[in-house]
Amino acid sequence: MMKRVFISGGAAGIGRATAQQFINAGYAVGIGDVNELALRDTAKALGSACQPHVLDVCDPAAWTRALTRFTGDDGRLDVLINNAGILHAGRAEDITFEQHSRLVDINIKGVIAGCQAALPFLKNVRHSRVINLCSASAIYGQPSVASYSASKFFVRGWTEALNIEWARYDIHVLSVWPIFVKTAMVDNAPDMKAAAKMGVSLTPDDVAKILLKLSGQKRPAVHTPIGLQTSLFKRFVNLMPDALNRRVVAHMADIRA
């Protein structure tokens, strides 16, 4: 039977690249996105193996409708990829409360809604997977993207907790931690000084290949850093005293600590 993967935020960037990778591997792919026009364009480009679903990830009922339609009569889902997310860059006080709130709705509540809606379908498959898009910004709180960074700390904790809770259902809950990826989200955030200083070396395909690999590993790690910069930063933060970590992160963001 053909395996199934559902990807939120699937109309562009990492989501679209991931859909292509899974189609190439023989999966039936469902993509959900709030951008209906981009969704249609992506589905047309990817062909009949890709099924589009207009999806506001903050709406649990919309999740259930999309997953029910996608999984069909047998109601089975092999992999859920929570990819949808937004970012606002700048000093925390210069970003409106409404913008912070919208980010929390999508990056946090959207992940909760997706996991809860997918659980009944994931339980119908042995060794099913949930893969959450986390970030290197969950290693140490990042100035200039404070609410985004904080939302990824939530994703980190949520992943670790569900990895334990859902083991009884034979569901592996994982996360991936890319640093800066060449996507519109990063391109449209000129106030994110760390990206300018460190460079943007990862592509959506780099992340997509790791997501596909994790979907088939027998004993996947709970968290997978993507890119050398992420791996080195994680090791540095774990080994160095907090005062030094703070100074390094502030320097990366061009902020006097």
- Local structure of 158: helix, strand or coil: helix
List Cβ<8 Å contacts ≥24 apart for 42-47.
42/10, 42/11, 42/12, 42/16, 46/16, 46/19, 46/20, 47/23
How far apart CA 38 and CA 184 sit, in angstroms, is 13
Catalytic member of 27, 140, 148, 169: 148
Burial class, 96, CB count within 10 angstroms (exposed 0-12 / middle 13-18 / buried 19+) = exposed
CB of 176 closer than 8 Å to CB of 214: yes
Q: What are phi and psi of 53, to 5 degrees?
A: -140, 120
Q: Which residue, among 18, 22, 6, has the nearest Cα to 114 in the 3D structure?
A: 6
Tokens representing residue 29 in the block = 């792919």
Q: What is the DSSP string of 192-236?
A: -HHHHHH---B-HHHHHHHHHHHHH-SS--SEEEESHHHHHHHHH
Compute the C-alpha angle 62/122/66, nearest 5°: 20
Q: Say whether 148 is catalytic.
A: yes
Q: What amino acid positions are annotated as catalytic residues?
A: 148
